[in-house]
């Protein structure tokens, strides 16, 4: 087993990995940029090493800087978290060349599944259904037009590399394909360094269902069931849950087997996710392979809550050469879990990211509630990184119990100093269609104005929130009476949107 692990990330995922290392008796080392010197993850690690300036390209994305930090502290292994260098095959290879274990799949497996074109071909060879589509060797507009005509409009134009919806374009007619392709190439080149595109048939109202997979170096590959990720905006997930109400036991078995076949065919090791689009529900539903994410997912706590496993611990064990801590037969689902991503953003203003200091932060404390956070009271939220503040994860014996608990937990989760998407999350969870489980990937887009737009009383409640934040921030130096600090105004104020 390792003695010292460098956590090559920031925010809530760095905090999550640091705590897992602590539990396992390993020494966690943090890295930080100039913008993160006082960040929460640096205070929780045994040691923190500066890796560069505030822009991610100068710090968290710098292979040379991160490897230099690992060498400086004599780290045995590097855990990349998600994002940044987590799916960078060159970084994984550089770690191996330096004699440092990369806690993730091999560079070869990462390259294989990192290309959507290669991953699609892999899934087809493994007998897994794929969405009708083509990846023309000739990437010129004429060849793309011919491929689109064979597939039939509307089509989805997608970059082969990367993810997160970057560069994806819906094209409804031949006349719009050339312009869409030009824009997609520019975005793909800028984000991933690869302008290669492919086309696939657009499925009108699909569900997005992904399966967590884990594999070790001894030939064991398992799935840890599914997560429903259909509530998205701009292809970014907002709320995730498990199990999916669309899956019957028979469909779950078929999709889980398909995920394992893909991972096996790729020679995959470690944690990953095989993603599918699902048409319909029940035993007659059709599912199609979408892609493989060669890393731990943001929404991994949903699986941990329902399956009763620790995926980060399993990642570290596998990377150290140990077998998976469980077999497929030992895994099961119990109850229902829901995760809501709390962002510093303003949905009413086009999801404009917010930056500033967190003036007040109180996590809910109630049964069945877990918060994975990257901030605390007094933390500074930078303009340089993703504005995810925390993930609120709840468990209930039934989906309805979990839904109600999630609403209650959000109502008991005040964050002041900058605007967040908490009102949107509450409205989503309370929407009749969400309560009924009638979801698809376009749900938030259709309901956007009702869910994200300004609501009656918003300005008044923001003024109250600001007053409370100022009241709390006075602290001992304001000369309050003895015992004042023990009084939390949130104990006496009803929930409101901020």
DSSP E strands: which ranges in 169-235? 169-171, 197-201, 207-215, 221-233
Q: Are residues 189 and 338 in the same domain?
A: no
**Using an 8 Å Cβ cutoff, are 404 and 396 in contact?**
yes
Give dist(CA 71, CA 75) in Å, integer: 6
Q: Are residues 251 and 336 in the same domain?
A: yes
Q: Could you tell me if residue 249 is inside a domain?
A: yes
Structure token digits, residue 489? 């105004």
Q: Are residues 197 and 211 in the same domain?
A: no
Which tens digits make up the pLDDT trace of 283-292? Answer: 989 999 999 9
Q: Are residues 20 and 51 in the same domain?
A: yes
Q: Are residues 330 and 365 in the same domain?
A: yes
Active site residues: 295
CATH code of residue 390? 3.30.470.20
b/e sequence 426-457, b meaning 16+ C-beta within 10 Å: bbbbebeebeebebbbebbeeeeeebbeeeee
Q: In the listed set 182, 201, 220, which residue is the last one of a domain according to the structure?
A: 201
Which tens digits make up the pLDDT trace of 457-497? Answer: 555 455 455 555 555 555 544 444 344 344 455 555 555 45
Q: Looking at the 3D structure of the chain, how many domains does it have? A: 3
Q: Are residues 160 and 214 in the same domain?
A: no
Residues 6+ apart with CB under 8 A from 420: 342, 343, 344, 345, 354, 389, 498
Q: Are residues 323 and 407 in the same domain?
A: yes
Q: Are residues 217 and 259 in the same domain?
A: yes
Q: Are residues 285 and 423 in the same domain?
A: yes
Q: In the listed set 160, 176, 201, which residue is the last one of a domain according to the structure?
A: 201
Q: Could you tell me if residue 482 is inside a domain?
A: no
Q: Are residues 277 and 384 in the same domain?
A: yes
Q: Are residues 192 and 287 in the same domain?
A: no
What does each of the 498 residues of the chain score in pLDDT, given as a tens digit?
Answer: 999 999 999 999 999 999 999 999 999 999 999 999 999 999 999 999 999 999 999 999 999 999 999 999 999 999 999 999 999 999 999 999 999 999 999 999 999 999 888 999 999 999 999 988 888 889 999 999 999 999 999 999 999 886 667 899 999 999 999 999 999 999 999 888 899 998 988 988 899 999 999 999 999 999 999 999 999 988 889 999 999 999 999 999 999 999 999 999 999 999 999 999 999 888 989 999 999 999 999 999 999 999 999 999 999 999 999 999 999 999 999 999 999 999 999 999 999 999 999 999 999 999 999 999 999 999 999 999 999 999 999 999 999 999 999 999 999 999 999 999 999 999 999 999 999 999 999 999 999 888 987 665 555 455 455 555 555 555 544 444 344 344 455 555 555 455
Q: Could you tell me if residue 422 is inside a domain?
A: yes
For the whole model, what pTM was predicted? 0.88
Range of the domain at 410: 207-452
Helices 107-114 and 116-125: crossing angle, nearest 10°?
A: 90
Return the residue matching tokens 């468990």.
395
């Amino acid at each position: 087993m390792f003695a010292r692990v460098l956590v090559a990330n920031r925010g809530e995922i760095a905090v999550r990995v640091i705590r897992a290392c602590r539990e396992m008796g390993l020494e966690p080392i943090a890295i930080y940029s100039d913008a993160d010197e006082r960040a929460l993850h640096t205070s929780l690690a045994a040691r923190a090493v500066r890796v560069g300036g505030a822009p991610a390209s100068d710090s968290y994305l710098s292979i040379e800087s991160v490897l230099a930090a690992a060498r400086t502290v004599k780290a045995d292994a590097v855990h990349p978290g998600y994002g940044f260098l987590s799916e960078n095959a060159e970084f994984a290879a550089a770690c191996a060349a330096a004699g440092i274990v990369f806690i993730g799949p091999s560079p070869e497996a990462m390259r294989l599944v990192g290309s959507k074109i290669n991953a699609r071909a892999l899934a087809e060879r493994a007998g897994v259904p794929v969405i009708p589509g083509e990846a023309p060797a000739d990437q010129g507009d004429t060849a793309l037009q011919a491929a689109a005509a064979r597939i039939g409009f509307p089509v989805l134009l997608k970059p082969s590399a990367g993810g997160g919806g970057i560069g994806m374009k819906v094209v409804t007619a031949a006349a719009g394909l050339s312009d869409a392709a030009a824009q997609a190439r520019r975005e793909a080149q800028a984000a991933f360094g690869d302008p290669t595109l492919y086309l696939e048939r657009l499925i009108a109202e699909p569900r997005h269902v992904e399966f967590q997979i884990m594999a070790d170096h001894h030939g064991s590959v398992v799935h840890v069931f599914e997560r429903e990720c259909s509530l998205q905006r701009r292809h970014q997930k907002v709320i995730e849950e498990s199990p999916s109400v669309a899956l019957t036991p028979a469909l779950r078995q078929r999709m889980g087997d398909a995920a394992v076949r893909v991972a096996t065919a790729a020679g995959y090791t470690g944690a990953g996710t095989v993603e599918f689009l699902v048409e319909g529900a029940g035993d007659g539903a059709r599912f199609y392979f979408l892609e493989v994410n060669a890393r731990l997912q943001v929404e991994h706590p949903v699986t941990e809550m329902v399956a009763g496993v620790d995926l980060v611990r399993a990642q570290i064990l596998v990377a150290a050469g140990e077998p998976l801590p469980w077999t497929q037969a030992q895994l099961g689902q119990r109850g229902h879990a829901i995760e809501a991503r709390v962002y510093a953003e303003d949905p009413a203003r086009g999801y404009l990211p917010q930056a500033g200091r967190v003036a007040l932060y109180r996590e809910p404390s109630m049964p069945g509630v877990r918060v994975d956070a990257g901030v605390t009271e007094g933390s500074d939220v930078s303009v340089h990184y993703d504005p995810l503040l925390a993930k609120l994860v709840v468990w209930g014996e039934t989906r309805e119990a979990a839904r109600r608990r999630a609403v209650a937990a959000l109502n008991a989760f005040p964050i002041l100093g900058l605007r967040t998407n908490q009102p949107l999350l509450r409205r989503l969870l309370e929407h009749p269609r969400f309560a009924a489980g009638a979801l698809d990937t376009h749900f938030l887009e259709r309901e956007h104005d009702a869910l994200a737009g300004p609501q009656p009383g918003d300005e008044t409640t923001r003024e109250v929130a600001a007053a409370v934040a100022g009241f709390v921030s006075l602290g001992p130096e304001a000369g309050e009476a003895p015992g004042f600090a023990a009084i939390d105004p949130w104990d006496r104020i009803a929930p409101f949107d901020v």
